[in-house]
Structure 1
C-alpha cells in the first residue's frame, strides 16, 4: 500500500483505513438521494453569477493575527481578499515563448493553460462539492480524512492549504490548530475561494484567512512561515509543478511537512481499465446532468491521466529539496497521499 512509512506502523495505517471505510457506509447510502434533492431545490432558487475578483465581498478579518493598517479599509477597518501579484500568470509569451504544455490531452502554450484551468473551475465551483460526492461515491471524504491523519497537525501551528477550494481540509485544520493556531485557505480561482470563504465563515472558523495565490510562486507568503502545507486535488492543474513544489518548500518552516493528496495511477491493470471506462463515460455524463458542463469533467478525467505517477512525483519532491518522502496508495492507487519534510 505504501512506498515507505515514517513513524507509523503499517498495521495501524490499515486499521485506520478499515475504520474510515466502515464509518462511511451509512453516509454514502444517502449521497444520490441528497444530490437529487439539491438539484430539485436549485431549480427553484435564483442564483447569481460569481462576481469578478475586484467585486468580491469585503468581510471582517478571519485570522486572529494583527493586520498592518495599510492592508485595512480606511472606513471599515476590515480586511478584503488579498490580491496583489498573487494570481498573475508567471508564463507569458515573453518568458516562455511558444513552449508547449498539456491541458488534458490537448497541447497548449504554457502562457494559455492557467486561463483555461480558471475557466474550468469557475464553471464547476457551485456544484463542486456535490459532484465530488457523486463522482467518488463519497470516498473522497475518506481520502481526505486519511490525509489529515498523516498531517501531524497540532494545536498552535500554522497551516497553508493550497488550492483549498471549498475548504474541506481547512475546516478540519481550523479545529485542530485551535485559537492559538492559524490556517490560510488559498486558491488561484476567485469563484472557488468565494465558496470556501462563505462555507468556513458560516461554520464559525475564526482562525482562517482566505488568500488568492498562485501555487507556482506563493507570492503573498514569507519564507519559513508554515508548519504544514497541503494541496488536495490541485497539483495536477498547475502549469509548472516543479516550480510549485519549490515554492511549497520555501514557505515551510524547517521541520515542516508537505502533504499532497492527488489522483494517481491504479496499480492493478483490471482496475485501471475499469477506471478509464468510468472516467471517460460516467464523469462527463454526470457533469452534464448535475453541473450542465460535460467538457470540464472530461478535462478533469484527462488531467488525471496526464499527472505523474507515484514514483515520479516522489522524485520531483526530492528534487525540490524534501526529505524522507513517502506515499500511500488509496483505493488501489486511484489516489495517493505523498508526504515530505523540510530539514
Structure 2
C-alpha cells in the first residue's frame, strides 16, 4: 500500500502539472489558432453504455433519459484528491463557474446544456467543462461527445446525424487525439458507426482504444471478438460491466471483479483486459504518453505564433497622433490585406 501511495504521489507531482497546463491552454482556445492539444475523446453509438463508463471512472451520476443526453461536448477533468474528505465539483461554461455537488451534478449539467443548446433536443459544439476533485478517481481529462444516432426522434433536427458527425470528426481527426471507442458487447463491432468514424481518421487503429460494455449481457463469443480484432483497435480492448440499478460504485466494482473471475466464459479473458480499474490505469498511461509526445511540438508552435504576433505588432506604425499620420498607415494596411487575400492570389494565378 505504501508503494502504491508513493507511486500515486509521484504521478500527481509529475503529471498533474502537465494536465493543468493543457487544460489552461484549452481554456485559452488554442485550437482556434490551429494548435491541437492532446485529448482523450470518448465516442460511441447511442445506447452503447458510454455514460456508464464515464460515471464509473468519475464515481458520479450523469444526465440520463431518452434520446441524446449529451447534447454538447462535456470536458471531464478528474483530479484524485486523497487529502479531501468531501468531493468538490464545479462546471465551467461561457464566462460562468458554477459550484455543484454529486447529488445535483446531473441537473446542473442539464441547466448548462439548455443555456448553450436550447431547451429542445438540438446539439451545440460549445463545450461544458466539469471539474471533479475526489478520492479514488484517476487523474484524467476526457471529452465526452453526443452519442451517434442516424434517425432523428421527434424534436430533433432532421440533420442530427450530420451535426453530430461534424462535432465528432472535429475532435477525433487531429493526430493528437486518442479515440476511446465505447462498444456494446451485444452488437457486431464492424457495424458500429463509431468504428466507421474512427477508422476514417485512424485507419490502422494506432490511437484507438476500445471499451466493451455490457459484457455480462452478451458473454458468448466475446473472447473471440476482442482477440480477433476484425476492426483494427491498435491500443487494445477493455471489457467492463456496467453498474446495475441502485448499486453503489464500490458494489459495482466488486460485482465486476467477481464476474470476470468466476464466469465460465468471461473468466477466460485476460485480466489485463477487464475491469474499470484496469481501464483507469490504462488511460492514465496513454494520457501521460501522448502529453509527453505532443508538448514539445505545442511549445514550438506557440513560440512561432507569439513571434509572428510580435512581428506584426512591431510592424504597426507608432505614435499616430493626428489624422494626417493615420491615413497613410491605414492605406498601407488595406493594401497589404488585399495583396495577401486568397482572392487576390487566385486572380494573379488566373492572369498568369
TM-score in terms of structure 1 length: 0.29
* Bigger Rg, structure 1 or 2: 2
User: Given the two structures, how large is their TM-score scaled by the length of structure 2?
Assistant: 0.28
